């Protein structure tokens, strides 16, 4: 059994916010590509357009500040141990990029391959988990099944007593999985995009899409109209609103997704632990906070806040698995907005409107896919043809019925 435990010490020096975050250029009258959404996916797409395809006449439009949406409101988990071939392909591609991303960007992202445990609490959990491990191995994804003793060895603070309400019967384990510092990831992509001459335009809200003869030709913004050869939508939580501006109705629902952190603690949690039965996932950030999350709030909404009972249940679940957390103090909670499709898999690719491209519907999986989908979305835009890793996730699958029901099949929500 392999083990990638957390680093024993915290980094001594962390980078300051890059100065380009405070620059905000005036938009030009036209661009080859306009990307709507200045989060992780939008910034990664802009970077790979320049790096891989030499396309630099690009604007990234963000209605707030760069990476101030879901990119700043996630729990930083990275993994690729998904069940279906289609899902494992894009997430494994992304994980391979994560492994070299710090060198590629020339910027620290604090990527820590400390491993991820997905706990099993019932016989059906065990069957589903072993099935997923075998599927992962067939796809070349590192995965292991560990019993309760193995869980205890990897994460000594997990309660593996057999007389609890949801006893730990074992877990899947992906050693190469881990966490990264979300805002540093965004800054790294933005810094490199800025160096390529890409315009990163903040406080610029898109208010309309200009469509002529079935083709998008530009965007309307609160800072004036901008002509565009191609437009890419990558604004998590608001994709259905933006697509509606071009007359496209998407099979999406928007939900709040909450998370929280504790006060700073000494290193106690060496890996990442996820449980779908009690519904919580926990890691420890480099600075020392315990980072916890759960599932989406059941109601639809665009507000970046959620119901308190979700936090209560999440904390109760955490204490069942980690009694040692009982005396930890809550530091802060927050919420983002996620788009969820009927099959809980993303939509990436072309739309019925020529030169209009879509990247949305990631639900709880968006952060871990950041470099992978940025790479593939840029390739799709550059060639006007879906990259092979995102081809299964085109919008037309909801017409043909070729769904990728990862959530329902894998028994893992995140």
Task: Report residue 5: phi and psi, to 5°.
Answer: -85, 165
Give the mean pLDDT of 361-372. Answer: 95
- Nearest CA-CA partner of 246 in 212, 292, 197: 212
pLDDT reported for residue 10: 46
Q: Which tokens in the block code for residue 23? A: 């620059």
pLDDT of 7 > 90? The answer is no
Give the tens place of pLDDT for each residue, 212-231.
999 999 999 999 999 999 99
- Cα–Cα separations (whole angstroms), residue 179 to 102, 259, 262, 311: 13, 15, 17, 22
Are the C-beta atoms of residues 280 and 290 closer than 8 Å to each other? no
pLDDT of 333 > 70? The answer is yes
Give the tens place of pLDDT for each residue, 226-277.
999 999 999 998 899 999 999 999 999 999 999 999 999 999 999 999 998 8
Catalogue all structural domains in the chain, each as residue range(s) with its CATH number. 19-74+183-250+342-410 (3.50.50.60), 112-177+253-340 (3.30.9.10)
Strands 116-120 and 280-284, by their bridges, are unpaired
pLDDT reported for residue 9: 43
Distance, in Å, from the CA atom of 370 to the CA atom of 148, rounded to the nearest integer, reads 32
Distance, in Å, from the CA atom of 72 to the CA atom of 183, rounded to the nearest integer, reads 6
Strands 30-36 and 224-233, by their bridges, are parallel
Answer positive or negative: Cα dihedral of 299, 344, 401, 397: positive
Q: What percent of the chain has pLDDT over 90?
A: 79
């Amino acid at each position: 059994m392999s083990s990638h435990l957390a680093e024993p010490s915290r980094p001594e020096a962390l980078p300051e916010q890059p100065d380009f975050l405070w620059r905000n250029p005036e938009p030009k009258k036209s661009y080859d590509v306009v990307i709507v959404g200045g989060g992780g996916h939008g910034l990664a797409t802009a970077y790979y357009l320049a790096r891989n395809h030499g396309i630099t006449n690009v604007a990234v439009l963000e209605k707030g500040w760069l990476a101030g949406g879901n990119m700043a409101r996630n729990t930083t988990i990275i993994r690729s141990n998904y069940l279906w071939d289609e899902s494992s392909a894009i997430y494994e591609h992304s994980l391979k990029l994560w492994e070299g991303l710090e060198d590629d960007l020339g910027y620290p992202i604090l990527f820590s391959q400390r491993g991820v445990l997905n706990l099993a609490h019932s016989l059906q959990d065990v069957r589903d988990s072993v099935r997923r491990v075998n599927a992962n191995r067939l796809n070349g994804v590192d995965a292991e099944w560990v019993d309760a003793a193995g869980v205890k060895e990897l994460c000594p603070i997990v309660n593996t007593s057999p007389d609890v309400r949801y006893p730990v019967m074992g877990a899947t384990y992906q050693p190469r999985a881990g966490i990264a510092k979300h805002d540093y990831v965004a800054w790294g992509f933005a810094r490199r995009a800025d160096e390529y001459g890409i315009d990163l335009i903040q406080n610029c809200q898109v208010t309309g899409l200009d469509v002529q003869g079935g083709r998008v030709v530009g965007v309307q913004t609160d800072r004036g109209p901008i002509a565009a050869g191609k437009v890419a939508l990558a604004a998590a939580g608001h994709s259905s609103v933006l697509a509606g501006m071009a007359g496209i109705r998407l099979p999406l629902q928007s939900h709040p997704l909450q998370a929280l952190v504790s006060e700073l603690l000494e290193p106690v949690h060496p890996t990442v632990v996820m449980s779908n039965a009690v519904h919580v996932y926990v890691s420890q950030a480099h600075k020392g906070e315990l980072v916890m999350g759960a599932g989406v709030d059941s109601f639809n909404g665009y507000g970046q806040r959620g119901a308190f009972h979700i936090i209560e249940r999440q904390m109760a679940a955490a204490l069942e698995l980690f009694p040692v957390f009982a005396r930890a103090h809550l530091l802060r909670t927050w919420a983002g907005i996620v788009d969820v499709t009927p099959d809980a898999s993303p939509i990436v690719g072309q739309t019925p409107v020529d030169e209009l491209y879509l990247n949305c519907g990631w639900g709880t999986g968006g952060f871990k896919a950041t470099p992978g989908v940025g790479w593939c979305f840029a390739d799709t835009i550059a060639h006007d043809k879906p990259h092979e890793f995102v081809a299964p996730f085109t919008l037309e699958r909801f017409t043909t019925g070729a769904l990728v029901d990862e959530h329902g099949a894998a028994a893992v929500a995140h």
